[in-house]
Each structure stands twice: as structure tokens, then as C-alpha cells.
Amino acid sequence: MIYALLALLLFAVMLVYFRLADRFNIIDRPNERSSHTKVTIRGGGIVFYLGVLAWFIWSGAAYPYFFAGLTLITLISFLDDILTLSNRIRISIHLLSVVLLFLEVGLFNHVWWIVPIALVLVIGTINAYNFMDGINGITAMYSFAVLLLLWLANQEVGFVDDRLLYCTAIANGVFTFFNFRQGAKCFAGDVGSVSMCFILLFATLSLILATGNPIYILFFAVYGVDSVMTIIFRLLRRENIFKAHRTHLYQYLANEAKGNRLVIAVCYGVLQVGIGWLIIAASAHSIKVQISVVFCVLTLFSVLYIGIRRYVLAAAR
């Protein structure tokens, strides 16, 4: 009953947000880098934060550092959606939010060199998750995939409050209703993709530290391969990797190959569930087996990335 009421409340809040977004012109206009052609409401992903806010109140203020970091990174991302803030301000708040995240999971209690490595990986993952939010449904489907994997792992390990995963999934479901369409009612915006990634990273880091096994970072393997391989190709072409573009594989599939965007989004999510299931199964075996699985997964998907990219670009000429 509580979850049903939460879904209805978030649905109503989204309808109110749409009216406010229309009034204050919080919209995404298509440009040469866009994969959409119509003016669409931006920032619908604010519902992710609201779902976690409901959980935070319900839980009696559990994980306060995490929630403080989420609040900061959500606020700065929403302001960036509206005002386009300077990189210095945005990066500073991101760093502060990640530090709060590390405090919550107890990362500073480990050997010092883990912190800078984790900082690079977390900041990189947040940016990659944001860049990958370029077609209808992809953030929704991929987030469902990672949430499912975290829930499955949580049944065995018990590393996070299940209610956090449920509330986040409900919020994602409400967003999916408005976004998983050929003509989306709203986009997640930076506020959505960044906040969702922050939530998923908190749970994933909690799992890694609870088990002492970093293999679970591959819960982000599909996005990771697409992002890293895209960066490599852009560097080879001597492009500015910090400049907006539409050269991710999913963008080639949607734009050059004219693929169905919703099918592409579902495929990304299904592939991640498959990899995640394999990772969960491998985690019960020896380190040698785990390393072999990780190597095979990353190699296979890198080769697939290169092959599909070449095929799509050749066919588009």
C-alpha cells in the first residue's frame, strides 16, 4: 500500500512539474547534436530524487551523508539544466557530493590509495551515465537493469536497505511512463541521469565494500564499454572529448542506422542484466575465474562495439 501511494504521489508531482516546466520554459530544444526533433520538457528525472526523499523520511533519516550528497548533486544538476552553470562550480559540488558518498560507505577507513582511484571511477561513471542519456528510454531501461542486479545481490549480501531500491524503482517507473515513448513527454535532464547514477553508485559501492569484491563495478559494463570505446575513437580522431557530440554507439544505431530508439534502449538494459547475472554467478567462484570472466566480458563487448560501429557507419555512407 505504501509503495502504491508513493507511485500515485510521484505521478501527481510529475504532472505538476510539467505545468511548471511549461510556464518557466524548462525545455530541451533540438540542435545538431540531438537525437530528438521536437521541443521536450527537460528535468523529468527530478522524480528520482523525490523517490529517495520519500524513502529518507520513511527510513528515519538513514544514510544521512549519502542523502546530503544526493541533495547537493541533484540541486546543482537541476540548476545546470536551467541556467548552464560554469564547469568550476559544477565540478566542485560533484566532488563534495562524492566525498560525502565516500564518508557514508566508509571508504576513508581503507588504505589511502583506494580513495583517488574510486574518485576517478565514480566521477567518470557519473559523467558517462549523463552522456549516455541521449535517446528516449535508455536511462529508464538501464537504471531498471542495474536496480534489478543490485536487488538480486542484496538478497544474498544484505548491503543496503531494500526500501531504497524499491522507492528508486518506483520513481524510475513513473519517469518511464512519460519517457519510454517514441514522442517522449519529458527527458531526464542532467538532474535525472546524474542523480540516478549517484544512487546506483552508492548501492554498488556499498556492495563492493561489503563483499570486498570490485567485480560488481561491471554492473555498469555496457555503459562503460560504450563510453570508453567512444572516447578512444574520438582521441584517435583528435577531437575534444569534452565537447558535446553524438558518436556513442547507441547514437549511431538510433541516428545513422535509423533504429527504433525504444528497442535500442531495451537492448542496452537486457544486455546489462545478462552481464550482471554472469557477474553475480562468477562472484561465488575463485579470483582466477572472476578475472577470466571480466576479461572475456570486456573483450567480447569491445569487439562487438567495434564491429557494430564499423557496420553501421559503412551502411550509412
C-alpha cell at 137: 528510454
How many domains are there within the chain? 1
Q: How far is it, in rounded angstroms, from Cα 144 to Cα 163?
A: 15
pLDDT tops 70 at residue 262: yes
CA distances from 188 to 66, 79, 117, 281 (A): 21, 14, 28, 32
C-alpha cell at 235: 582521441
With residue 27 as reference, give the H or E element that holds it.
strand 27-28
pLDDT tops 70 at residue 33: no
Yes or no: say if 47 and 10 are a contact pair by the CB < 8 Å rule: yes
- pTM score: 0.96
pLDDT tops 90 at residue 45: yes
Q: Which residue range is the domain that position 65 belongs to?
A: 2-316
Confidence class of residue 294 from pLDDT cuts 50, 70 and 90?
Answer: very high
- The CA-CA-CA angle for residues 302, 308, 310, to 5°, reads 100
Confidence class of residue 181 from pLDDT cuts 50, 70 and 90?
Answer: very high
pLDDT in tens, 113-158: 999 999 999 999 999 999 999 899 999 999 999 999 999 999 999 9
* Average pLDDT of span 85-114: 95
Q: How far is it, in rounded angstroms, from Cα 19 to Cα 41?
A: 10
- The CA-CA-CA angle for residues 27, 240, 124, to 5°, reads 70
Confidence class of residue 31 from pLDDT cuts 50, 70 and 90?
Answer: low
Percentage of the chain modeled with pLDDT above 70: 97
* Average pLDDT of span 15-34: 82
Confidence class of residue 32 from pLDDT cuts 50, 70 and 90?
Answer: low
Confidence class of residue 316 from pLDDT cuts 50, 70 and 90?
Answer: confident
Q: Please report the DSSP string for 55-108 in residue order.
A: HHHHTTS-SHHHHHHHHHHHHHHHHHHHH---HHHHHHHHHHHHHHHHHHHTGG
pLDDT in tens, 217-256: 999 999 999 999 999 999 999 998 878 788 999 999 999 9
Neighbour-count burial of 242, counting CB atoms closer than 10 A to its CB (0-12 exposed, 13-18 middle, 19+ buried): exposed
Mean pLDDT of the chain: 94
